[in-house]
């Protein structure tokens, strides 16, 4: 005997006659309200199209505006690229010219050099004969030098041209700086809220967690203001090179520069050095200044009214830099209040 399929409650009328499940919202509707639900989805689609039209109008209006500021910025940055190109070409040309001179010396100039050496030895022999003041060691020395010249004439060295693979010029990088910093990546036990403005440590084992900002800093001076909304355990504020891989123990990375909230927990190039820590507590406001031009970072705790400073070695921490936190335990929670460039 055939069995009747069990019906579910309709989300709209709450009557047990639902037979259609929407794959979009996963809710179940009856025949009557399935059509109503579809019409509602169509209305939402129309709203999305209106937003698209609005964005299109903004783009058209902005495209028609004169943009002298953008053009001036492009011209100024293009000069930087042109100067890098000129210096790089000069450097390559200098290395090539040096290689040509060496090649000339080792090939067509080789016999001329041997001839010059032989003439010098001949003068020494003539002077020795004239003065009659030579001894056995002089004879052995002259003989060794003559045999060496003979070997160079008969068996010339092989000459090849090959790449040294030593880094000759630095790569030019064009970075887009977003004025509004947000938290973007972590090594694991952290999550983000409020569109990346907040990072918090999730419940779980007490392990270190690295957190990175989104922005990349290469030029200028930038000030980031952060609020310690909750704190448990250690916390490090500082920077790290963008090229350094994420690591739960990022404080030990060679490009880490920053301050822990522990006694003498200051990190320079991933190593602990003596100095005052950030002494951060719950509800503290921390101002971190990233000065790329001066190659220095500064940290000010408003409650302490004290500014700390670290010089950054760009050989250990190459550009671009990124905002770098290292957190410890839940419920630690940090919020970015503001980010400005001066």
Q: What is the pLDDT of residues 51-106, one digit of tens each?
A: 999 989 989 998 888 888 778 878 888 998 999 999 999 999 999 999 899 888 88
Average pLDDT over residues 279-283: 94
Contact partners, residue 169, CB within 8 Å, separation at least 6: 87, 88, 91, 92
Lowest mean pLDDT among 16-30, 182-196, 241-255, 306-320: 16-30
For the record, the structure tokens of 4 come out as: 């009747």
pLDDT at residue number 102: 87
Distance (Å, whole) CA 91 – CA 86: 9
Split at pLDDT 50, 70, 90, the class of 303 is very high
For the record, the structure tokens of 276 come out as: 């005052």
Residue 298's nearest CA partner among 315, 310, 312 is: 310
The pLDDT > 90 percentage for the chain reads: 55
Cβ 213 vs Cβ 181: under 8 Å: yes
| SS3 label, residue 122 | helix
Question: Is the pLDDT score of 279 beyond 60?
Answer: yes
For the record, the structure tokens of 328 come out as: 């410890």
Question: Is the pLDDT score of 208 beyond 80?
Answer: yes
Average pLDDT over residues 250-269: 91
Split at pLDDT 50, 70, 90, the class of 2 is very low
Question: Is the pLDDT score of 292 beyond 80?
Answer: yes
Average pLDDT over residues 224-229: 96
Question: Is the pLDDT score of 1 beyond 50?
Answer: no
CATH superfamily entry for domain 183-341: SPRY domain (2.60.120.920)
Distance (Å, whole) CA 290 – CA 258: 11
pLDDT at residue number 224: 96
Cβ 223 vs Cβ 328: under 8 Å: no
pLDDT at residue number 300: 96
CA angle 139, 140, 145 (to 5 degrees): 100
pLDDT at residue number 177: 57
Core vs surface per residue 283-305: b (16+ CB within 10 A) or e: ebebbbbbbbeeeebbbbbeeee
Helix axes 136-154, 110-131, angle to 10 degrees: 160
Split at pLDDT 50, 70, 90, the class of 178 is low
The residues spanned by each domain of the chain are 8-64, 107-154, 183-341
pLDDT at residue number 170: 77
Cβ 240 vs Cβ 317: under 8 Å: yes
For the record, the structure tokens of 301 come out as: 């705790």
**Global pTM value:** 0.57
* pLDDT tens for each residue of 104-160: 888 888 888 888 989 999 998 899 888 888 888 989 998 999 999 888 888 888 888
More confident residue, 105 or 39: 39
Split at pLDDT 50, 70, 90, the class of 176 is low
What is the average pLDDT score of the chain?
A: 89
pLDDT at residue number 210: 97
For the record, the structure tokens of 172 come out as: 């030019």
Question: Is the pLDDT score of 309 beyond 70?
Answer: yes
pLDDT at residue number 3: 45
Cβ 182 vs Cβ 199: under 8 Å: no
Distance (Å, whole) CA 128 – CA 72: 76
Distance (Å, whole) CA 303 – CA 109: 74
What ranges in the chain are assigned the alpha helix state H?
31-64, 68-106, 110-131, 136-154
Cβ 305 vs Cβ 282: under 8 Å: no
């Amino acid at each position: 005997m055939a069995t009747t399929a069990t019906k579910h409650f309709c989300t709209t009328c709450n009557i047990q006659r639902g037979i259609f499940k929407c794959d979009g919202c996963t809710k179940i509707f009856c025949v009557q309200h399935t059509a109503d639900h579809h019409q509602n989805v169509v209305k939402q689609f129309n709203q999305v199209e209106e937003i698209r039209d609005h964005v299109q109008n903004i783009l058209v209006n902005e495209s028609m505006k004169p943009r002298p500021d953008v053009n001036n910025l492009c011209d100024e940055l293009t000069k930087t690229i042109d100067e890098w190109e000129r210096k790089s070409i000069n450097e390559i040309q200098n290395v090539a010219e040096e290689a040509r001179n060496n090649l000339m010396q080792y090939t067509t100039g080789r016999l001329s050099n041997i001839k010059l050496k032989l003439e010098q030895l001949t003068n020494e022999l003539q002077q020795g004969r004239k003065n009659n003041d030579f001894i056995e060691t002089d004879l052995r020395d002259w003989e060794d030098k003559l045999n060496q010249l003979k070997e160079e004439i008969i068996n010339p060295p092989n000459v090849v041209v090959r790449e040294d693979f030593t880094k000759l010029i630095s790569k030019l990088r064009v970075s887009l700086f977003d004025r509004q910093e947000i938290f973007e990546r972590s090594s694991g036990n952290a999550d983000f809220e409020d569109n990346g403005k907040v990072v918090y440590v999730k419940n779980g084992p007490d392990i270190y967690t690295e957190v990175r900002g989104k922005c990349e800093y290469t030029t200028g001076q930038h000030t980031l203001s952060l609020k310690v909304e909750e704190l448990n355990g250690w916390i490090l504020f500082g920077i790290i090179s963008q090229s350094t891989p994420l690591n739960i123990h990022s404080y030990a990375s060679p490009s880490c520069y920053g301050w822990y909230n522990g006694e003498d927990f200051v990190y320079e190039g991933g190593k602990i050095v003596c100095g005052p820590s950030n002494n951060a507590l719950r509800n503290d406001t921390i101002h971190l200044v990233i000065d790329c031009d001066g190659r220095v970072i500064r940290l000010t705790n408003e409650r302490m009214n004290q500014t700390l400073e670290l010089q950054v070695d760009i050989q250990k921490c190459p550009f671009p830099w990124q905002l770098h936190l290292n957190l410890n335990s839940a419920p630690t929670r940090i919020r970015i209040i503001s980010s400005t460039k001066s």
